[in-house]
Amino acid sequence: MSSLNSSLHMGQHALSINQRAMQTVGHNIANQETEGFSRQQVHSGTAAPDPTGVGGGAKAQPTSRVYDKFVQRKILQENPRSGMFKSRGEFLQKIEIIFSETEGNGLHQALNEFWNSWSQLSNQPESESARIQVRERSDVLARRFRGMHSQLDGLRNEINGRLVATINKVNELGQKVAELNRQIISYESGQRNANDMRDARNQAIEELSELVDVNSFENPNGRVTVIIGRDWTLVEGNNRYQLEGKMKGGELGMLRIDGVSINDNRRDLTRIFREGEMSEMLRMRDDTIVGYQHNLDEIAFNLAGQVNKIHATGTGINSATDMMKSTFGLNSTALSQPLPFLKDGIFQLHLVDPHNEILETYEIEIQAGIDTLPDIVQRLNQTISDPGLLQASIEADGSMLLQSASDYKFIFGEDQSSITQVLGLNSFFDTLKGAEDIQLSEHIRENTNNISTGKDLIPGDNRVALEIAKLQTRPTMRDETMTFDEYYNGVLTGMGLKIQRNKTEQAQQESMVRQFKEIRSSISSVNMDEELTDMMQYQKAYEASARFINTVDRMMETVIKM
């Protein structure tokens, strides 16, 4: 009887093993489309034989998942680069739209129209319509510069918002991994395998790897530690240390990423991320976009400087004036220091009599790196020596005021020192920062007759207008090695090459990740044909186990009746 009882238990174990195997097959089939799911298998081992050496049947082993940790680790290593290229491509495309020349709304078109208006004015220096055209085209150009700079600022602010969302996502995934760590330890303390929880944890870490570069490792007790960036521990066991976005100073207020650890200890993590969407957004915001803003600033500042340098020493229609104030004022500290950007040379002022004739020419010598604005004002007044004709003074706001006496006016002559450009005297454009704030000077906006076209008070003089028009083809950018058009075309070409290179690298990277995922899928994913084959096998085994139990039962019944 004892051996028959053993046989009965053997059959019962076999039924149980095959029943669990059938349940596992059903679990696999149900999760065929579940992202991150690894198919599971039921294993059995040989039970210990009895003292006589008769086999004890099968013994159930914990259900395991089919999983290759080395393939998974390779995916985690390559995912951040995919996220980086994806984010870079998205924002480069938005920058390309800002610089787009379609529909005649680009900077290139505005520059061409600006130069053409000066060329037309040089042909008709006395024409009111030609002067209005110069003013309007110049205003369009200045607004185009400011608009593109502002759009790039807006893109930086958009990235700030995206960073906040990414930080929240990183914290959410970190919390999920920490909670799964806790659940896995609790579940597996009962000698069970938390297969589905481990899949969910791997999936959360994989999602995290698209956002930031990740390094993770599992302790012998089953807990996973997750390190992001170079050295920030996001998850350690059941604990997670979150990220927090904090605005730092500056005109736009750029978001800084802080890591918050125990006791609210904080550390700036903005520069620790090497790959992933977050690192690329930071690079795009702080390097790439700022670089394009600097390109625009360089064009705008150089353009304003070159035009102002020529325009300041010219004259327009009835352009002799009895008063002019410099555009830029200096604070008390700047007034005591040498004026920047000056050159050694002379600066000329022509005194004009009531008959619009040049009565006197004053030459003031300027010493670069030495002269302060008070020095220059004093020297100018000493040179004129008669305040009843013309006098210079410094206003309360730190600007220089030139004022002639009644019946007298003045115009500017040759300026070797660039003081007219530095102070903004008789300027065409006003700018301190470049593309961000370039605009037409107020006296140009108010009266187009103030646009300088010649160098003397002679009707029809077009020398200044012609010289400004020639700036289009004159190499003035980058140490006088390229024209404005050549420099801007270089910026656009570089942008196009960068976009094309990113597309190529992104395609290569995505292909690599896709291949690793296909390898993982071939190992871990649910194959319906295999599952159906296993199901038939387990069904037959279950039926055979049931028949075995039925046979043993009849044998026991025979023994009892004897």
What's the rounded mean pLDDT across residues 332-345? 92
Stronger pLDDT, 316 or 368, i.e. the higher one: 368
Q: Do residue 245 and residue 384 come from a single domain?
A: no
Q: What is the mean pLDDT of residues 302-316?
A: 91
What's the pLDDT at 210?
94
Query: Is residue 479's pLDDT more than 70?
Result: yes
- The arithmetic mean of pLDDT across residues 63-81, rounded, is 89
- 335 and 200: one domain? no
Pick the most confident of 191-195, 476-480, 501-505.
501-505
Shared-domain flag, residues 76 and 216:
yes
- Per-residue pLDDT at 557: 79
**Average per-residue pLDDT for the chain:** 90
**C-alpha dist (Å) from residue 531 to 24, 107, 201, 538:** 10, 63, 25, 10
In this prediction, residues 270-291 reach a mean pLDDT of: 94
What pLDDT was estimated at residue 247?
82
In this predicted structure, what is the pLDDT of residue 253? Answer: 67
Range of the domain at 539: 2-66+527-561
Q: What are 215's strand-pairing partners?
A: 227
Same domain, 133 and 282: yes
**Does 151 score more than 90 pLDDT?**
yes
- The span from the CA of 314 to the CA of 185, in Å, is 83
More confident residue, 555 or 506: 506
At residue 529, the pLDDT reads 84
Total of domains in the chain: 3
**In a shared domain, residues 327 and 189:** no
Distance CA 335, CA 259 (A): 45
Contact 498, 88 (CB under 8 A): no
Q: pLDDT at residue 378 above 70?
A: yes
Over 80: is that where the pLDDT of 428 sits? yes
333 and 205 share one domain: no
**CA distances, 467 to each of 307, 394, 444 (Å):** 9, 32, 18
Distances (CA, A) of 506 to 79, 97, 363, 462, 514: 11, 20, 63, 55, 12
Same domain, 54 and 76: no
Specify whether 231 is located in the same domain as 275. yes
Same domain, yes or no, for 143 and 7? no
* pLDDT tens digits along 395-416: 999 999 999 998 899 999 889 9
The residue that leads in pLDDT, 543 or 210, is 210
Mean pLDDT of 513-523: 90
Confidence of residue 251 (pLDDT cuts 50, 70, 90): very low
What is the average per-residue pLDDT within 416-434? 90
Mean pLDDT of the region 429-445: 93
Residues 388 and 517 both lie in one domain: no
| pLDDT value, residue 249 | 61
**Do 165 and 303 fall into the same domain?**
yes
Which of 397, 425, 453 delimits the end of a domain? 425
Cα separation, 168 vs 33, in Å, equals 27
pLDDT at residue 314, as a whole number: 87
Spatial CB neighbours of 301, under 8 Å, sequence gap ≥ 6: 431, 433, 434, 435, 438
3-state helix, strand, coil split of the chain in percent (to 5) is 55, 15, 30
Q: Which residues contact 394 (CB under 8 A, 6 or more apart)?
A: 335, 373, 374, 377, 400, 401
Percent of the chain with pLDDT over 70: 98
Q: Give 323-365 as a DSSP string.
A: EEE-S----HHHHTSPPTT--SEEEEEEEE-TTS-EEEEEEEE
Is 53 a residue whose pLDDT tops 80? no
Q: Is 222 in the same domain as 120?
A: yes
Query: Can you give the CATH number for the domain in which 371 is found?
Result: 2.60.40
Average pLDDT over residues 534-550: 86
Please state the rounded mean pLDDT for residues 166-171: 96
Confidence of residue 44 (pLDDT cuts 50, 70, 90): confident
Higher local confidence (pLDDT), 97 or 45:
97
Return d(Cα 25, Cα 34) in angstroms, integer: 15
β-bridge partners, 400: 394
Full-model pTM: 0.86
